[in-house]
A and B are shown apart, each in its own frame.
Chain A
Amino acid sequence: MSIQVHRTRSTRTTVRFFPHNDTEIQAMLDAIGVATLEDLFRDIPPELRERATLDLPPGLSEMDLYTRVESLARKNFASCDRCFVGAGAYAHFIPAVVEHILQRAEFYSAYTPYQPEVSQGTLQATYEFQTLVAMLFDMEVANASMYDGASAAAEAVLMALRLRPARRRVLVARSLHPQYREVIRTYLEGSGPYSLEEVSFSADGATDIQDLTRKLGEDVAAAVLGYPNFFGVVEDLAALVNAVRACGALAITATTEPLALGILRPPGEYGVDIAVGEGQSFGMPLSYGGPGVGLFATRLEFVRTMPGRLVGETIDSAGRRAFVLTLATREQHIRRERATSNICTNHGLMALAFTVHLSLLGKQGLRQLAALNLARAHTVADELERRGWQLVFTRPFFHEFVVAHPDARVRYQSALEQRLLPGVPLGRWYPELEDALLLCVTETASAEATQALLDALAPQSC
């Protein structure tokens, strides 16, 4: 039995966000010297004013609004517990302290710290963020963040083309996240006389070094590799980076899952020139794919060609340590059409989430969480293999892996019907992997859901 609740929509104008009463409005109009609010718009051509009416519903009270939006949230299947999909967005547990700090209005309702004397909170946290990103990638310098991993990868390619102005070809591993490749393509199209070529992957799931070597040349500005790549496979960066750099091109890595760097040797150790990534895994919910935070790190010698905001350390008038936005002469508000990028702000609040979460995890927690993800994913992969699924690639992986089965499609559907997200079918991006699923196992998947996944994908009777 259900109780019918009748809600009446208010037809009154919403007033809760507006502090003025009629007397105050009149006083302000009097001060200005006009009679009505409409008189404020006398510079606007009447033919525009006449057609400006909004054909939209009346406003809602907070209670009605909550109910309305909550009803939309309820229609989604949203569960980190039953999510075995990664592919660039990862279900990780977020400690309550992260959310608590993020809900401080002193942080979320501020803007870019143009006035450093009253923005030291944002500035110091951003400086800490830059340090954490640089350490995680083992690079010399990182910026204050970009929009997401894919746009950071595209900006890295543009930066490489600035650093190698005589070169016009860019290589991208086909094992890089398909959407990262698409965004790089969009950014490059029309920006100059550049060409983009893909480097194939070998049967083991890693970038084909022979194909890479064949395509490299003195006209190649940069090569972009996934680390780990889209299939979760850990690339042999030493060999690949050496090949790229040997011909004078810049080696760029893109990391969709930075947690992997808690356990894997970082890009910087292999001589990577620009390391980018998506930082969502640290402190940001899935939130249907956004907002996350783009990570961008490089060598100190390239810092003046780097896109994005930078916070630096300095002193105040009394000689005390202070932080401030710096090296702004690279940026659009100073250099306009000659700027290193059109980017204006970063993803500041998400950079804060990243910083707080990594500070909590710390030296030991980061490594242990990475090791936990690694072990759990391998346990599930081993069990699927035991139950008749083929592990498509043989190379070591982190917490994502590709499995195939002749009945993959049917089993996938039956798992969906049991309210599980049983990986993502790869056929839409890789026709040769039509019967393959990309699975991801993180610490959020419950034991019960993991068992349900195994039983749905690989019933014991088979």
Chain B
Amino acid sequence: MRGQKQEGLLLDEPLIFERSRAGRRGVDVSAPSATPERYLPAQWVRPEIDGFPEVSEPEVLRHYLRLSQWNYGAATTFYPLGSCTMKYNPVVNEALARLRGFTELHPLTPDEMAQGALELLAELEQWLREITGMSAVTLQPAAGAHGELTGMKMIRAYHRDRGNPRQRVLIPASAHGTNPASAALCGYSTLTLEGNQIGLIEPHAVRKAMNGEVAALMITNPNTLGLFEREILQIAETVHAHGGLVYLDGANLNALLGVAKPAHMGADVMQINLHKTFSTPHGGGGPGAGPVAVNEVLEPYLPVPRLVRTESGWRWSEEFPRSIGRVRTFHGNFGMHVRALAYLLALGAEGLAQVSRLAVLAANYVRVRLSEAYQLAFPGMCMHECVFTDKGFDASAVRTLDIAKRLLDRGFYAPTIYFPLVVPGALMIEPTETESKETLDAFITAMLEIAREARDAPQRLKEAPVHTPVGRVDEARAARRPILRWTPAPSPHLACR
């Protein structure tokens, strides 16, 4: 095992820096025609960087291939991570995003020489408008949270134009942490709305909290419990009646394709997570893409530049005086836009509607099959995900974390755990539409067996995982004595050196 004397299959892989041997390198570079000192003052010229890797090409390849083998990914493993929509990422999209006409396209290419890219973006905007029912879209935000920030900046600009930016934003207790953080970045305080006994926001709670100082309600629908906010129409009406706006967190759009359009729910603005609903890969933590869709009320505030149609084709325009400005360089994560449009084109209208139906089918199937052994946070039909708790295992002191770790031993990634915060010991399962029934059945079997183990042999859960490249990782130690990088001098903290 790692760091121990090894025979046979090697599981240890040192850091790339520890593989260094003087004089090696993995790239051959043509010799420059002159030394740097010819062009730069000598005191500005940097010597070689101490500690930088010196590794040959085959060693670099082997190093990262081996690291890749220590990961579970949605392509290799069922990955029921709730709220993240870990569906299949079509491989053809990887090939399409790598077409030379895209990869070698400089972002400052004159518009008339980049018409293919502009057309692609315009088409993606159009698909997203139709799916959400909203009237305009910006593709600039780089991620879901970035989209939230963009949307909330627009809400602030809207209120400021009406003489008062307002002070507060209402956010359900079950919301993603990004919601209050995004609101706070826009200078708003937040007021938490508690859900009712069936996990939903009630109109009277919104009525009670609404007044002329509330800028917006940020609401996720379906919410993070996987439940559709049934009173959304009345809730939105209440917010609007007080001059507030409705920010709809589109993180859970995978449940709504061809089922219900956010615009009809009263949303004024929403972000769309292309890496969730529209299959762009999660990349081990990004890059995502978080386009923002708005109705007519907020359209003037969209970031610039925006795509406009002219007689000679598409072009970028900055002529929107009420725009909030830019939120990142250039035109957003274009490579992700290519993949998302490819996904939409592949599925078409019927395929998209089927996505949500099968995603909700899978989640409810898992919900029903597991509810004999695990307690649901809230009973009843769910949408694209279902949330359980660790109640019922108190006798053996088994917690959600133990269940999650035992699942890793069974070859599954774990559900999202301890979120939403309103559910103690939450286990949030989102199977998505791309997992077969036999995979779901295998997962269900594993979960049922783990529930039995929790009662009969709880130690097995406490000691899990045992079949993974490393055992349970000491998170507290990492936070107590942070070691955040390798250093050329030997570190005294290395346990296995």
Contacts and interface: CB of A to CB of B under 8 A. Distances in A.
Q: Which of B23, B41, B71, B329 has the most CB of A within 10 A?
A: B329
Interface string B237-253: 00000000000000000
B364 A290 contact: no
A43 B200 CA distance: 12
A303 B485 CA distance: 13
Contacts of B2: 320-322
A246 interface: no
A72 B116 contact: yes
Contact of B482 (A25, A134, A303): A303
A60 interface: yes
B170 interface: no
Nearest to A104: B68
Contact of B70 (A41, A55, A121, A375): A121
B162 interface: no
A105 B253 CA distance: 24
B196 interface: no
Contacts of A97: 26, 57, 60-61, 64
Contacts of B127: 56
B131 interface: yes
Given A106-B71, A106-B73, A76 B113 contact: yes
Nearest to B287: A291
A402 to B, nearest CB: 15
B494 interface: yes
Interface string B18-34: 00100111111111111
Given A107-B68, A350-B286, 20 more contacts: A14-B346, A19-B434, A56-B131, A56-B349, A57-B349, A78-B101, A95-B26, A106-B72, A108-B73, A131-B15, A131-B485, A288-B107, A312-B482, A320-B495, A322-B473, A332-B145, A336-B181, A344-B178, A358-B52, A362-B52
Interface string B290-333: 00000000000001000000000000000000001111111111
Interface residues on B, range: 35 or more
A122 B282 CA distance: 12
A453 to B, nearest CB: 14
Given A120-B70, A342-B149, A43 B227 contact: yes
Interface in A10-47: 13-14, 16-20, 24-25, 27-29, 31-33, 37-38, 40-45, 47
Interface stretch (A142-150, A207-215, A218-226, A385-393): A142-150
A148 B329 CA distance: 7
B32 A147 contact: no
A108 B345 contact: no
Given A108-B283, A290-B334, A333-B177, A121 B329 contact: no
A117 B411 CA distance: 12
A120 B101 CA distance: 35
B81 A111 contact: yes
Interface in A357-382: 358-372, 374-376, 378-379
B486 A345 contact: no
B2 to A, nearest CB: 5
A117 B472 contact: yes
Interface in A305-349: 309-324, 326-329, 331-339, 341-349
Given A189-B324, A336-B177, A372-B32, A72 B117 contact: yes
Given A110-B73, A286-B106, A359-B53, A13 B361 contact: no
Contacts of A29: 361
Contacts of B208: none
Contacts of B190: 336-337
A244 interface: no
What 7 pairs across the A-B complex have the smallest Cβ distances? Answer: A289-B330, A73-B101, A289-B107, A75-B116, A349-B283, A59-B348, A348-B285
Contacts of B413: 115, 118
A217 interface: no
A348 B60 contact: no
A366 B72 contact: no
Interface in B109-159: 109-110, 113-117, 119-120, 127, 130-131, 133, 142-146, 148-149, 153, 156-157
B101 A17 contact: no
6 contacts: A17-B351, A25-B358, A55-B349, A148-B142, A338-B184, A363-B48
Contacts of A394: none
B420 to A, nearest CB: 11
Given A66-B96, A288-B334, A120 B470 contact: yes
A94 B148 CA distance: 33
Given A106-B75, A346-B285, A127 B108 contact: no
A263 B465 contact: no
B5 interface: no
B285 A111 contact: yes
Given A95-B26, A265-B45, A356-B64, A76 B116 contact: yes
B373 interface: no
Given A14-B351, A287-B105, A320-B1, A312 B479 contact: yes
A263 B89 contact: no
A103 B76 CA distance: 13
Q: Which of B333, B380, B416 has the most CB of A within 10 A?
A: B333
